[in-house]
Structure 1
Amino acid sequence: MKTIVFFNNKGGVGKTTLVYHFTYMLAELGYKSLAIDLDPQANLTSMFLSDSRLQEIYDNELSRPTILESIRPLNRGTSDIQIAHIENINDKIGLLAGDLELSLFEDKLSSSWGNCLNRDEAAFRIVSSFYRVIAEANHRFGADFNIIDIGPNFGAINRATLIAADYVIVPMAADLFSLQGLKNLGNRLEDWHTQWEDRVSRNPEPTLALPKGDMKPLGYVIMQHGIKESRPVKSYLKWANRIPQVFRQFVLKDNVHSNIAVENDEYCIALLKHYHSLIPMAMEARKPIFLLKPSEGAIGAHLGAVRNSYSDFKALTEKILSIIGS
């Protein structure tokens, strides 16, 4: 089981769209994945599911088939985690649907983080709940990967999710605020790893499965860069070429000065281009842009863009698999 979280505390960079397309490309390459929506905005869920299915799920006030149901007994203090419902998107993709009410679990997670220091078993069960729910669902679905989408913040939900991750990929825009977000991210991952190691040593119940808190940064993906003659334009390069040094210094904690250009940086997983009018087509068809067909509007120049997007996301996915394999 390999768990990958896509995260940046700078929002609006196309993170959820990246998670969605990456999951589908893994399926194209023959891998089975479990997509987990732990962003209380539930945008990933809305991308995967039809409007009618979304209404069925969220109109059910008594027992919604979302990830919230699997942790609700813990939040109420009545029991431990429950088996999560898996939405079968296809034979290669399963989904643990998100829930707007997941944000109500934030306070419980926050207080439990501190209570772990007091060797409180209930606190450890709460902090490890996402990890244990996902592990059980992964085993039941038989997935090769868990792919997790979370919100752009450093709250308790994201902390509990990130300590459950094997790998972290950072979606970015090439701008000042994304660079600042990258600096914040590196410092926070290091702090959480150290704090979790201390807490794990105090766990009073040795049979309780706990995450390792590895959170290994794999690299970054620059979203929606402009292109001119197949190369990023100057306005993007101004900020993009600062990313390699910032990523090394603040995320990898390597203080050796580097003048590596982003296009030559081994940690730059991909530079993803604009796909403009393909996005609304894909949203209407409820599928990734690289699987659009002529009957769905992908004709003429659009058809060429669809083929290019397939190549782009395939290269991105194969690079991630290669990094993990090495």
Structure 2
Amino acid sequence: MALYNHKGGVGKTSLTVNLAASLAVLGRKVLLVDSDPQCNITSYLVEPNVVDSWLDGSSGDNGKTLWTGLQPIMDSTGPARKVEPVERMKNVFLLPGDIKLSDFEIDLHQFWSECYQRKNRGFLGTTALSSIANMAATKIDADYVFYDVGPNIGPLNRAVLLDCDYFIVPAACDLFSIRALKTLGHTLANWITDCRILEQLAPDSAPLLPGNPSFLGYILQKFRVYGGVITSGFAPYVSHLERAASTDLVKVLKRISPSLAVGSSADFKLGQIKDFGSIAALSQSQGKPFKDVDGGAEAQRLEAARAFANLAKAVETRINSLNP
């Protein structure tokens, strides 16, 4: 799955790290795939000097980043090859990103076009990232795979979202997040429709993306609380986001297939994560989930632990309800 919103600044990477950590506490094995050329989740979880050494040696069989797996596709020398996942905390593994993913994204334009020409190279390129993630997930026997994605609607995110079983939308309590849902819904609908056309065109031996990313729900982010209640400056956006999710995502996806957005409007709010202020900054600098940072107020750490534990349980409950 992916926590996806093409609007920037909604806390996708922090949310992914903390949700993964909370699922790991429940005993689940989680694979994080850094498919963002900015490498935010890799920078979050790996020391800068280690990241630099990985990037310097990313070519060849012994490379550590996703570029290692993608290079044969880019060079037209063979299929995608495996990348060894790196354990960053108990039960949480990482496939490190690489700035060269921006080069791969450029080639994805051509791969997509070649799919329409029924060329096997196009299908191999379009599914390359999926292949690498699947090999790593099998290696660690992962229960969940999370892609960390950049804030855009480009070809790289298209390949990622079409590989997902589910996606979750993190949404800040602001006007821009509400407006972004309309673009997001129509973009996803177009991607899914195009993918189904390619399924019909594909040669029998061609690998395919699943092309059925179901909307699991949305998470309210970036708001403040006073006395246990969302403050007045942010409160009006709660109902606006619920309506936008229903109108601009659920209804649009259901027109393609009811299975892409199952449930009533109340089912799609997975939870809410307030602005945790200083411990969020400590989390990024220390490479730890909010609950484990050194420093900050203990009450804040405990509150964060509860919030993300509840979110992890809500995600599992929602998935289980869709797969009885």
Normalization by structure 1: what TM-score? 0.90
User: How much has 1:169 moved relative to structure 2?
Assistant: 0.4
Q: CA deviation at 1:60?
A: 2.2
Which residue of structure 2 aligns with residue 94 of structure 1? Answer: 93
What SS is found at the alignment partner of 2:201?
coil
Number of the residue aligned with 1:143: 142
Tell whether 2:310 aligns with 1:312: no
Q: Distance in 2 between matches of 1:61 and 1:187?
A: 36
In 2: Cα distance, 1:272 partner to 1:91 partner: 23
Displacement after TM superposition at 1:52 (Å): 3.0
Structure 1 runs (4+) deviating above 4 angstroms are: none
Going from structure 1 to structure 2, the CA distance change for 1:77 and 1:317 (only over 3 Å counts) comes to: same
Q: Secondary structure at the match of 1:246?
A: helix
User: Structure 2: how far apart are the matches of 1:142 and 1:171?
Assistant: 27
Which residue of structure 2 aligns with residue 6 of structure 1?
3
CA–CA separation in structure 1 for the residues paired with 2:168 and 2:72? 31
Q: Among the aligned pairs, what percent are the same residue? A: 27
Alpha-carbon distance in structure 2 between the residues aligned to 1:30 and 1:312: 18
Between the aligned partners of 1:209 and 1:137, the Cα distance in structure 2 is 18
Q: Given that residues 131 and 210 in structure 1 are in contact (C-alpha distance below 8 angstroms), is that contact kept between their aligned partners in structure 2? A: no
Q: What do residues 207-262 of structure 1 show as CA deviations (whole Å, max 9, x unaligned)? A: x442211110111111121112211112212222111111111111179xxxxxxx
Distance in 2 (alpha carbons) for counterparts of 1:163 and 1:74 = 19
Counterpart CA distance in 1 for 2:95 and 2:139 is: 12
2:200 maps to which residue? 201
Q: Structure 1 unaligned segments of length 5 or more: list them.
A: 256-263
Match of 1:279 in 2: 280
1:58 aligns with 2:59: no
Q: Match of 1:323, as an amino acid? A: R
What residue number does 1:169 align with? 168
Question: Partners of 2:13 and 2:283 in 1: how far apart?
Answer: 14
Indicate the residue corresponding to 2:211 in structure 1. 213
Aligned match of 2:246: 248
Report the equivalent of 1:127.
Answer: 126
- Deviation string 1:4-31 (CA, Å, 9 cap, x unpaired) is 1111010011111001111111111110
Computed over aligned residues only, the root mean square deviation of the Cα atoms, in angstroms, reads: 1.8
Deviation, structure 1 residue 45:
0.4
Q: Distance in 1 between matches of 2:174 and 2:90?
A: 39
Equivalent pair of 1:116/1:123 in contact (CA under 8 Å): yes
Shift of 1:281: 2.6
Does residue 1:34 correspond to 2:35, yes or no?
no
Count of residue correspondences: 309
Contact 1:224/1:271 (8 A) holds in 2: no
Aligned-partner Cα distance in 2 for 1:103–1:241: 37
Question: What amino acid does structure 2 have at the position aligned with 1:142?
Answer: D
CA contact (8 A) 1:132 1:209 kept: no
- SS of 2:283's equivalent in the other structure is helix
Matches within 5 A, 1:75-94: 75-94=74-93
Q: C-alpha displacement at 1:55, in angstroms?
A: 2.5
The aligned amino acid for 1:313 is: F
Structure 2 Cα separation of the partners of residues 223 and 130 of structure 1 = 29
* 8 Å Cα contact 1:290/1:309 also seen in 2: yes
Is 1:25 the counterpart of 2:16 in the alignment?
no
Q: What is the CA–CA distance in structure 1 between the aligned matches of 2:229 and 2:64, rounded to whole Å?
A: 45
Corresponding residue for 1:232? 230
Q: Which residue of 2 aligns with 1:110?
A: 109
Per mean C-alpha deviation after superposition, the further-off stretch among 75-84 and 52-61 is 52-61
